[in-house]
Amino acid sequence: MKFNARILFAVGLSGIPMAAQSLKLPDAPGKVVTQKVCGTCHGAELMIGRQETREVWGAIVGDMVQRGAQGTEDEFYDVVDYLSANFSPTSPVTRLNVNKASSPDLQTALHLPAKQADAIVQQRKDKGDFKSIEDLQKVPGVDAKKIESNKKRLSF
């Protein structure tokens, strides 16, 4: 696994400490190891909503190893396996159900400001579940282009 600083910063891993959050990692093989290896420095918010290839996840984990992440070689491979299986462009786990998501989840997964995520939640409360991407884009104050660019991450 080779480190590439541009890839690391492009995906936004900045060493944010783990914080209390509503976001949860999917239950799947490798979750416990991923929490053990990555969870001392990073929270789930750094993975949820990301869609990276196996190669990019490998580069990120490789960088973490160089920065001092603790684990065995097998554990690091398990982490890459877990991340690429659950947070890749082809993974159904990366989809966010906009009719169930909280405002913080919408903010993180769709990279929305709090005000826009709150508007989505309020519209859902006032008018019921969203049926399509078009319904979501009609929420007053929400950046329709941002919704469009993240539409592959959404489910209804």
**pLDDT tens digit string along 35-64?**
999 888 887 777 776 778 889 999 999 999
CA-to-CA separations, 120 to 24, 97, 143, 154, in angstroms, rounded: 21, 12, 11, 13
Residue 107 pLDDT? 83
Residue 44 pLDDT? 76
Residue 15 pLDDT? 32
DSSP-assigned letter for residue 153: G
CA-to-CA separations, 33 to 14, 58, 86, 115, in angstroms, rounded: 21, 15, 14, 35
Which residues, given as ranges, of the chain have pLDDT below 70?
1-23, 49, 89-94
Determine the Cα–Cα distance for residues 109 and 76; give it in Å rounded to an integer.
25
Residue 77 pLDDT? 94
Residues facing residue 154 across a β-bridge: 96
Residue 102 pLDDT? 86
